[in-house]
Chain A
Amino acid sequence: MKRYALLLALTSAIPSLASAEGSNAFNPDIALILSGTYGQFQHDPAGYAIPGVPLTADSGPGERGFTLGESELSMSANIDPDWYGLLTFAMAGDNTTSVENAYVQTTSLGNGVTVRGGRFFSGIGYLNEQHAHTWDFVDTALPYRAFLGTQYKDDGVQLRWVAPLDLFTEFGAEWLNGSNFPAGGSANNGRGAWSTYVHVGDDVGDSNSWRAGLSYLATKAVDRNTISVNPANDDLFTGTSKLLVADFVWKWAPMGNATQRNFKLQAEYLHVNNDGDFTPAGGTVIPYDGKNNGWYVQGIYQFMPRWRIGLRHDQIRTNDPGIAFTGTVLDPQGHNPSRNSLMLDFSNSEFSRLRLQFNRDESALVADNQWFLQYQMSLGAHGAHQF
């Protein structure tokens, strides 16, 4: 009798349990990235400038002391058989929250076509689409910082097409609002930027794989602020910025098994042309046609499980726009900006990482030695990362 009662209790308990799980099962995947950085700079990063390069507020080298780095909360799920959606909030150290990504994308168009709409990181280059917590260094590459204000994010639509070939070949095009640096002011009725890119990639044997890309981003700016040493007196730029990016990534792991040892080589070249009118703070309009370029190369080696070491070199070449710009932020002052970085990180599991990094930053006029200590933790749903 007792046994029967127990059985009855069990069977009656099962449906309620199942229904609770049933309603939860439709909740989106929630992934939380907790990240924090300690930064030590010899020179105050607030006064940072790269002579000859128009910068934005996000072009700085980081913050002094303890800061909440790029902590993020993201939710994603399939919406219905035809749509996938994702929302990512980024939490900054100054108690502000911003919408980093919020987009929907098709899953059922087939024929290799995917359409995305909303706010997203543009697919240009290699680093641009990578979230901060997947970077191999605390900070992004110098040309990205200088020319894109870390990374280009905007509202708009994106079309991608993967060709039905053995060689991975992907074409992409984006129409964007043009509200973020290097765009500004949402020119053209909020169609102030567009981009197009092609990616190719393949494996070489079991141990090697690579991807290469070529991208073009054209943006319009209306009264775009350029950060000068005194932020109260911003310089203004109105015109177009055209950016060309060539990117290359090579990954090696013995027999394709990355758990023990692996190596990643990554290099990108960026060329930017700002063409329009420049108004220095308190000055008069000067016609400006400036071409700058930059590149970086970095290698990351996991020499044993959990431990990785990384080396990076960044460089920017500025062109002198002429005597009219003497004394403005666009005067290169004969300086060749560059930076070298060394990184060591330890991953307790694939969900947690601690990192130590040293930068010898010679991008500003005065060279700076920078130390960073960072933690990056990933909680909740297991995220899938891009190549």
Chain B
Amino acid sequence: MKMLLKLFVTLSLLMALQPASAQLHVFACEPEWAALVHELAGDTAEITTATTAYQDPHQIQARPSLIAKLRRADLAVCSGAGLEVGWMPMLLRQAGNDAVQPGRPGYFEAAMQVHRLEVPNTVDRAMGDIHPEGNPHVQMDPRRMATIATALTERLKQIDPAHTADYTARGADFSKRWQAAMIAWESKAKPLHGTRVVVHHRGWVYLFDWLGLQEAGDLEPKPGVPPSAGHLAELKTELATHPARMVIYAAYQDERPAQWLSHETGMPAVKLPFTVGGSDGAKDLFGLFDDTLDKMMGALHESH
């Protein structure tokens, strides 16, 4: 027992003696927030991304490596609104890091910075895995992304006041480039307005809200419930009377249900990045929207 205590004290002393790193350690729950932090903080931040574009952010294990990374974080940036409810609370309770606990400046929930859609009036699991806080997949609306960027810049200044001037300059620069890109995206995406689109999971409402797309159906019978043969057959029948122009799914989702529906109805199935890293083109936030719009416009022409 004494041995253990000695080890404890020795290790703690060793840690205390290490020079404090000048870098800001950021734990990003999803790749889009890692990309945003990189835009806003550059090399000032050492960023860890907990998930990749090929993983379902609802279903992540509270892995030991994530506990180790959260343990050393000064700032955690997550979608929030219940998206990470299956793993983030466990990481927070195990990491022993007071700086990133909910309610502290070090815990930033992107979805809570913007107006959320699909906030349910009643919450019942018979409706599937819905989030009482509303739909958390806010990253696919660049207008909301701009709001989140502004809030995140303020948060970075609060946590790391030594680099305030740097964050202000980078925030302004990002905002300028982002606004210009948004004008280009909106004009490019005009033909998509009013287009009926089938989705795999209800993860695209913010993209639809931005571009004025219409959701023609979900491959999942309920959010979080995998597509079933019966549900797909129903959807096919419904699409025969009210056709859609394409079916879209995220890089991490099973492509087979979308491909089946595409084969049965003749409309193209489009695999979209959904987040940074989900396709070769989606290398950063700008690439994410460039590539998404390229692919959707391509599908629109194809389905003529």
Query: Which among A42-50, A63-71, A199-207, A323-331 touches the partner chain?
Result: A199-207
CB-based contact B128/A168 at 8 Å: no
Decide: A84 and B93 in contact? CB cutoff 8 A: yes
Complex Cα distance A171/B96, Å?
12
Residues of A158-178 whose CB lies within 8 A of B: 160-171, 173
Interface residues of A (CB under 8 A from B): 78, 81, 84, 105, 107-114, 160-171, 173, 194, 196, 199-203, 206, 209-211, 251, 255-260, 305-306, 348-351, 379, 382-387
Q: Inside 8 A of A209's CB, which chain B residues have their CB?
A: 61, 63-65
Chain A residues with Cβ under 8 A from B102's Cβ? 78
A211-B64, A256-B54 known; A196 and B1 CB under 8 Å? yes
Cross-chain contact B63 with A258 (CB below 8 angstroms): no
Tell me which of B15, B90, B129, B254 contacts A349 (CB under 8 A).
B129
Question: From residue A226, how far is it (CB to closest CB) to chain B in Å?
Answer: 28
Is A384 in contact with B68, judged by CB distance below 8 angstroms? no
Q: In whole angstroms, how far apart are the Cα atoms of A165 and B12 in the complex?
A: 12
B65 touches A351 (CB 8 A): no
Kindly specify which of B31-39, B81-89, B173-181, B291-299 makes contact with the partner chain: B81-89
Q: How far is the CA of A109 from the CA of B95 in the complex (A)?
A: 11
Check B4–A260 contact: CB distance below 8 A: no
Q: Which of B87-125 contact A (CB under 8 A)?
A: 87-90, 92-99, 101-103, 125
Q: Give A84's nearest chain B residue, CB to CB.
A: B93
Contacts of B95 in A (CB 8 A): 112, 162
Knowing A78-B102, A256-B52 touch, does A110 contact B65 (C-beta < 8 A)?
Answer: no
8 further interface pairs, Cβ-Cβ under 8 Å (given A114-B96, A169-B68, A196-B4):
A81-B101, A81-B103, A107-B101, A162-B68, A209-B65, A256-B51, A256-B54, A258-B56
CB-based nearest A residue for B56: A259
Give, as a whole number of angstroms, the nearest-CB distance from B230 to chain A: 14
Complex Cα spacing A113 to B15, Å = 13
B129→A350 contact, CB < 8 A: yes
Asked if B97 and A384 make an inter-chain contact with CB atoms under 8 angstroms apart, the answer reads: no
B283 CB-CB contact with A under 8 Å: no
Check B224 against A114 for contact (C-beta < 8 Å). Answer: no
